[in-house]
Amino acid sequence: MIRSGRWFALGVVAATYAVAGLAAWAVAAATPGHPLARTLGADLVATVVVFAASLVVGNASLYDPYWSVAPPVVVSAWVLWRDDLNGRQVVVVALVLIWAVRLTGNWVRSWRGLEHEDWRYVQMREQRPPWLPWWLVNLAGIQLMPTLVVFAGLLAVWPAVTVTDRPLGWLDALAVLVTGGAVLIEAVADRQMHRFTADPANRGRIIDRGLWRYSRHPNYLGEIGFWWGLWLFGLAAAPSWWWTMAGPIVMVLLFALVSVPLMDRRSLARRPAYAEHMLRVPALLPRPWRQRGVNNGDASVPEP
């Protein structure tokens, strides 16, 4: 793993993504067929470029911002392909850009440089079977799989930005509320977590305040809601594309079956009181009728 300053590391990321973008553009321009297929091919090529760079620097976290960097590029390309604008396109692009800028900024804020690799990747490298090469785990599990999941989530955006004969309606209004609300939930949750972890007095404690009082992973809940909101836009534009709900369903499965259990197991290993916290606070969807607790060092004490 290369050790360097943070700004140099961010420069490496920027250069890598610029090369990935150029490679993706070349593939999309040279490949015949439906724009969806061309976009998918370009998306996969860009992912492979980022993967190659991650091998060079020895850090799989080089891929992390791809989750939020690729969607606005893909959506903007689809809008330009259609070559005419309507209100739905403007709203969808604006919401995707707001989501992308905020989430990417959150990653930039928390990433310390090329010597900082996500603990989940370190764990995967250490716990993989001896016969399974790390490069394959990195390519398939860390990079290609999320790229395909995000592309599945974006399928609903295709009709939302290319079908222009249906005017804005009540379903679009609902989509704005769901998508915008989800982005807000995610932003507030991340902000609350940053403030909590920045306070030395909270070292070793379990966050149990703000949105985290009602959900153990409100940031994940917001992310899931964002993709369901995009699906509503697609449904409003073209009801026959209802089947693209497979995208947000895959998102739910990814977070509920992979991300949440991983985070919970880590918290349990580091803070034994987290087991009691899990009994009171649901993983994702809040249950307001359940009794809540307040954090008190290594234990959560029920409120009177």
> pLDDT averaged over consecutive 10-residue blocks of the chain (304 residues)?
75 96 95 93 97 95 96 94 85 97 94 89 91 94 96 97 91 98 97 92 88 95 98 96 97 96 92 90 82 40 26
User: Does a structural domain hold residue 40?
Assistant: no
Backbone angles phi, psi at 168, to 5 degrees: -60, 140
Q: How many CB atoms lie within 10 A of CB 269?
A: 9
Q: What angle do CA 299, 302, 304 make, to 5 degrees?
A: 145
User: Does a structural domain hold residue 251?
Assistant: yes
Sequence-ordered list of residues with C-beta below 8 angstroms from that of 173, at least 6 positions apart, any chain: none
Predicted confidence at residue 294, as pLDDT, reads 41
Predicted confidence at residue 2, as pLDDT, reads 56
Rounded distance between C-alpha atoms, residue 133 and residue 131, angstroms: 6
Backbone angles phi, psi at 118, to 5 degrees: -50, 135
Domains contained in the chain, number: 1
Cα distance from N-terminal residue to C-terminal residue, the chain: 50
The pair of three-digit structure tokens given for residue 114, joined into one six-digit string? 């090329």
User: Does a structural domain hold residue 57?
Assistant: no
User: Does a structural domain hold residue 242?
Assistant: yes
User: Does a structural domain hold residue 20?
Assistant: no
Q: Select from 150, 159, 177, 28 the least CA-distant residue to 86.
A: 159
- pTM for the predicted model, two decimal places: 0.91
User: Does a structural domain hold residue 54?
Assistant: no
Predicted confidence at residue 302, as pLDDT, reads 27
Rounded distance between C-alpha atoms, residue 126 and residue 123, angstroms: 5
User: Does a structural domain hold residue 41?
Assistant: no
**Could you tell me which residues are beta bridge partners of residue 299?**
296
The pair of three-digit structure tokens given for residue 194, joined into one six-digit string? 């940053």
Question: What is the span of the domain harbouring residue 194?
Answer: 165-304
Q: How many CB atoms lie within 10 A of CB 65?
A: 23
User: Does a structural domain hold residue 169?
Assistant: yes
